[in-house]
Chains A and B, each alone.
Chain A
Amino acid sequence: MASKEKVLTKADYRSAILRSYYLQNAQNYGNMQGTGMLNSIWPQLRKIYKGDEDKFKQVATSNLEFYNTNPQPYPFVSTLMLAMYDSGQSEDDVRAVKMALMGPLAGIGDALSQFALAPLFSTIFASLALQGVIYAPLMFIACLIGVTFGVRCLMGYLGWKVGTSIIDTLSDKMQALTDIASMIGLTVIAGLSVSFVKVNLALQYSTVVKGKEQVVAVQTILDKIMPFMLPMLLTYFVYWLITKKKWTIYKIILLLLVLGIGLSAIGLLKP
């Protein structure tokens, strides 16, 4: 089978990694990333099937089918596919590999980029910005683009270098990485959530201490018992609504809006 002469160079694979940014350019509800997926390997396919226009059309259109994965580890798929096409392996095999990788890579990619890296950098740089570091947004974007570009290059390299057998150990390593990033992220997020969610009781009462009348704010007493108790309870309450009650975000936003305006109007909460 692998009798075909290889035509793709390292530069072609590098270009395929960069073209992974085109993956979602045609995102739609019909074939999701399918239309853009073909575009991400277009020039390489043109090169492989140079001189056989019909074959090119057939392979190209076969890649228009439904595809949906996370764009960060996606270069693993594209370079692996190209390596297989280029060595003359059957289209069915390539398709099998492509489809087999879709789910696991989406899982790994979402866990790492959406749920671990993005929230981690987001909390760190947003809180730096609040402390007056005016260029924090630039550092934020530089870190995120830098790290995810690194992930794309590594994935593209691995896809080119090795076959499918590696995906098991790879997902183990990615799991460890995700665990570490998630744990750091959660520590930071848990810490900041209590101090950025603001719930201030406006209630106060007068009491007579040693013959003098004093005004005591209920909030001060609560803070002594347990600092940030109300923000924590509120965050847990919303968490409970999302996970147990399956409320939609829109419903929760509406509820908090009504609560905020209502409780402030009757003088229970203050800004």
Chain B
Amino acid sequence: MTFTIWQALLVGLWAAFCFAGQIWGIYTNRALFIAFGVGLILGDLKTAVIFGATAELAFMGFGVGPGGSTPPNPLGPGIVGTIMAISMDKLSPGAALTLSYPFAIIVPFVITFIFTINSSSMETAKKAIMDGKYRKYKWLSNTTLYGFMLFAFIFGFAATESTSALRAFIKIIPQWLMNGLTVAGGLLPAVGFALILSTMVKKEYIPAIILGYVCVAYLQMPVIGLAFVGAVLAFNNYFNGKKSSNDSNNQGGNDGGIEDGI
């Protein structure tokens, strides 16, 4: 399967739009959504969405980044991983995910680079406004956005154009290594889950974790059902928490009354 230059251009534009979403805060830069568009453009929506969902779960916690570090970016699997999954029939979603990690790791370096070259933004903008060059300020106030879009366009375009090179590269991978990559693809989602757990977990939430495990492991509950069960626990907690704080307030009031009486 080879892709036309028009498809490569479209993937580039799609990548630029999706990556801009990271700046706008509209979540279009998630692997699931990026993969959807790539699948639509390259004509294999089903494979793309299955792969996108696999990558989404593995990269779920990666929007966060503990301690100010820039984590691997879902643009890598979203674009490159989806292209690999679509263009190579025998590649499992797990192996495609593992193979796209290097691309996920390149992206944060580019982001750091763009943030760094724009570091003098404040002084330049100040000067432009003081000189009355408002147009120039307007341009300055969008530089990071332009940088992101330009990079993502090149990234998407180049990835689609080099499909045959990617395929040739993957063909020389021996079977035992391919199995290993698939196994690793099964282990890697643990990072995404652990990362998101590390930011969310408090002692009070431990029942939710056990409940979730029991529902899936023993009851094989589908995900929407799982959300409802979680809601029951959450609301139960919320209302009971309210009641007990009300109770202690009332009690405090009574104590005061008795003391006053004495």
A261 interface neighbour in B57, B118, B180, B213, Cβ under 8 Å: B180
State whether the Cβ of A190 lies closer than 8 Å to any Cβ in chain B: yes
25 contacts between A and B (CB under 8 A): A24-B23, A24-B25, A26-B142, A34-B121, A36-B141, A38-B137, A61-B129, A61-B130, A72-B25, A126-B57, A127-B223, A128-B223, A148-B27, A186-B208, A187-B212, A189-B196, A192-B223, A194-B213, A242-B195, A249-B62, A260-B185, A260-B188, A261-B180, A261-B183, A264-B180
Pairwise interchain contact A253-B191, C-beta atoms closer than 8 A: yes
- What are the interface flags for A177-212 relative to B under an 8 Å C-beta threshold, 1 for contact and 0 otherwise? 001111111111111111111111000000000000
Is the CB–CB distance between B230 and A185 below 8 Å?
A: yes
| B interface residues, tally (CB under 8 Å) | 106
Q: Given the interface contacts A38-B141, A129-B53, A137-B52, does A183 sit within 8 Å of B227 by beta carbon?
A: no
| B218-262 near A? 1/0 per residue, CB < 8 Å | 100111101101110111011000000000000000000000000
A271 touches B186 (CB 8 A): yes
Q: Is the CB of A124 within 8 A of B191?
A: no
Question: Is B72 positioned at the interface, with any CB of A under 8 Å from its CB?
Answer: yes
Which 9 A/B pairs are nearest by Cβ-Cβ distance?
A: A260-B184, A187-B230, A198-B186, A190-B212, A261-B180, A28-B118, A191-B212, A137-B36, A129-B53
Across-interface contacts of A22 in B (CB, < 8 A): 141-142
Q: Verify if B199 is at the interface (C-beta below 8 Å from A).
A: yes
* In the assembled complex, A96 has its CB within 8 A of some CB on chain B: no
Q: Are A242 and B231 in contact (CB under 8 A)?
A: no
Q: What is the interface of chain A, defined by CB distance below 8 A to chain B? A: 21-31, 34-36, 38-39, 42, 53, 57, 60-61, 64-65, 71-72, 113-116, 118-120, 122-132, 134, 136-138, 140-141, 144-145, 148, 176, 179-200, 226-228, 231-232, 234-239, 241-243, 248-250, 252-253, 256-257, 259-265, 269-271
Let me know if A179 and B179 touch, CB within 8 A.
Answer: no
Of A35, A136, A236, A252, the contact of B191 (CB 8 Å cutoff): A252
> Chain B residues near A137 (CB, 8 Å)?
32-33, 35-36, 49, 52
Q: What A residues does B191 contact at CB under 8 A?
A: 238, 249, 252-253, 256
Q: Are A193 and B53 in contact (CB under 8 A)?
A: no
For the residues of A in contact with B, the DSSP-based class is: helix
In the complex, what distance in Å separates the CA atom of A227 from the CA atom of B65?
A: 31
Interface contact B186-A118, CB-CB below 8 Å: no
With a cutoff of 8 Å between Cβ atoms, the chain B residues found around residue A64 in the complex are 122, 125-126, 129
Evaluate contact between A187 and B181: CB separation under 8 angstroms: no
Q: Is the CB of A184 within 8 A of B234?
A: yes
Do A264 and B57 touch across chains, with their CB atoms under 8 A apart?
A: no
CB distance from B258 to the nearest CB of A (A): 30
State whether A115 and B179 are in contact (beta carbons under 8 Å apart), knowing that A64-B126, A134-B45 are contacts in the complex. Answer: no
Partner of A187, one of B26, B132, B142, B211: B211
Is there contact, CB below 8 Å, between A191 and B205? no
Pairwise interchain contact B234-A29, C-beta atoms closer than 8 A: no
How far does the alpha carbon of A28 sit from the alpha carbon of B191 in the complex, in Å? Answer: 28
Query: A36 to B229, alpha carbons, bound, how many Å?
Result: 42
A143 to nearest B CB, angstroms?
9
B-side residues, CB < 8 A to A, are 23-28, 30, 32-33, 35-36, 45-46, 49-50, 52-54, 56-57, 60-66, 69, 71-72, 92, 94, 98, 101, 105, 114-116, 118-123, 125-126, 129-130, 132, 137-138, 140-145, 176-177, 179-191, 193-201, 205, 208-213, 215-218, 221-224, 226-227, 229-231, 233-235, 237-238
Q: How far is the CA of A159 from the CA of B21 in the complex (A)?
A: 25
Distance, CA A176 to CA B138, complexed state (A): 39
**What chain B residues lie within 8 Å of A232 (beta carbons)?**
213
Q: How far is the CB of A190 from chain B (nearest CB, A)?
A: 3
CB distance from B92 to the nearest CB of A (A): 7
**Which among A65, A188, A195 has the highest number of chain B CB atoms within 10 Å?**
A188
Given A141-B27, A248-B69, A123 and B187 contact (CB-CB distance below 8 Å): no
